[in-house]
A and B are shown apart, each in its own frame.
Chain A
Amino acid sequence: MTTSVLAAPPKGQGQGRGRTKLSHDEILRYSRHLILPEVGPQGQQRLKDARVVLIGAGGLGSPAALYLAAAGVGTIGLVDFDVVEESNLQRQVIHGTGTLGQSKLDSASARIRDLNPHVHVERFETRLTSENALEILADFDVVADGTDNFPTRYLVNDACVLLGKPNAYGSIFRFEGQASVFYAKEGPCYRCLFREPPPPGLVPSCAEGGVLGVLPGIVGSIQALEVVKLILGVGETLVGRLVLFDALQLSFRELALRKDPGCPVCGNAPTITELIDYEAFCGIEAAPTYDGAEVSAPDVAREIREGAGVVLLDVREPQEWDICHIEGAMLLPLGTLPATLGALDDRAKIVTYCHKGVRSLKALEILKSAGVSNVRSLRGGIDAWSRAIDPSVPRY
């Protein structure tokens, strides 16, 4: 049996059991909750008193915010600094075609207001950083982590451990999701599961690797569910359990999580006692610089026009090649590269390219270490090519 993460409501002073401050409108709106013995008027009042902050108003944050607002969580904090883009709408259901180009906070706030005017939205139009995280999160009862990058995930985890807050965690990639509640007061934290992040570039982001649009609907809803249970103090939360969801198999697996006594932030002798530099921790600053190894789209176009013998090497996946590719290029997906190097003439002037210019730099490294000297990477990838050179190439 769990207890609510909210402080117990004040007793006495004529505030008898069962008395709430819900208006008639609210009683009607929440009637399906009120008749559940596990919620009832007191539970609904708890939801109204609760303060929940969502880190990210994207794929996971969208369903989480919608369901938490509908459920009557009184205050929802939103931390995001992005703008609504067309490619978000395949999964970020809180936004719409009518809010394209708006900030995600404007778009999400308007949708929440329409869904439930009793909800107060607190807006943090900023990137969550080591400088502001403790201040932002300190005022909330529960945190829901729906960010899209490792530095912010470790930042949210460490801030929650330091502040003693529960973190309803969800993460997705392609067809698979993970969910848990990291609550160091009662169980393990994210670092107990993954002590350190993978090096940059090893695990592709959803922007690079893709994600099925329905998947965040399921995982983000699990996060909202866990938030509600933490507030109500009912049922068994995911503290100490990791749920793995596979959309293609439609299977849920549950694994036991244990607190790692050696955990650097929640273990017996923590070495992390304040927030650190998470970009550096995730190896992002340590990434090598590529001075002179990159070439701009206009320069490549000019070299091709001048007949300089440029060989364009597309290192994306075949399905990306099918969306669009640069005329005359050759497809050698990054994953095949060490093995397919033999197909390349080592005297060719090679320019590698990918979607946005990240994977092509990895390809460049592989080619250089295989002894190919004349190789550069297209800065900004085919996306930059579409914008600067050939608008008939669709952007994605």
Chain B
Amino acid sequence: MAVTLTLPTVLANLAEGNKTLEAEGHTLGDAIDNVSGRYPQLASRLRDEDGTPYPFVTFYLNDQDIRLNGGFDVELHEGDEITIVPAIAGG
């Protein structure tokens, strides 16, 4: 499945400045592996060494929090949009 990932600026800098990335995969975890392969610096910011999500980076699949829909195992469909929301604390 071809899907789109939207990155915040803080992570786009680790993907050669790209705020949106095209990715391939049957599950969200596959899509993340796919972009991590292309942008190794991004990999460790999206998931930990065991491949599980961090508690301070939330993934949305078409506006729904994936933690409530199967986490990284959630199945993707053609054209899905994934939004990555990291915790920021500036004020």
Contacts and interface: CB of A to CB of B under 8 A. Distances in A.
A178 B88 contact: yes
Contact of A196 (B19, B55, B83, B90): B55
B52 to A, nearest CB: 13
Contacts of B10: 173-174, 176, 203-204, 209
B65 A197 contact: no
A244 B19 CA distance: 14
Interface string A182-223: 000000000001111110001111100101000010000000
Interface stretch (A40-48, A55-63, A380-388): A55-63
A233 interface: no
Nearest to B60: A255
A196 B88 CA distance: 12
B29 interface: no
Contacts of A176: 8-10, 88
Nearest to A150: B89
Q: Give the most central of A176, A249, A260: most B CB within 10 Å.
A: A176
A6 B87 CA distance: 30
A148 B63 contact: no
B38 interface: no
A298 interface: no
B90 A205 contact: yes
Contacts, number: 99
Q: Contact size class for B?
A: 20 to 34
The interface residues of chain B, by DSSP majority, are classed as mixed
B53 to A, nearest CB: 10
Contacts of A167: none
A172 B88 contact: yes
B86 interface: yes
A361 B39 CA distance: 25
A203 B89 contact: yes
Interface of A: 56, 58-61, 145-150, 153, 170-176, 178, 193-198, 202-206, 209, 211, 216, 242, 244, 246, 248-249, 253-258, 260, 335
Interface of B: 8-10, 13-14, 19, 41, 45, 54-58, 60, 63-65, 67-68, 83, 85-91
26 contacts: A56-B91, A58-B91, A145-B91, A146-B91, A147-B89, A148-B89, A149-B89, A171-B88, A171-B90, A172-B88, A173-B89, A175-B9, A176-B88, A194-B58, A197-B87, A198-B54, A198-B56, A198-B57, A203-B86, A204-B10, A205-B89, A209-B10, A244-B8, A249-B19, A254-B63, A255-B85
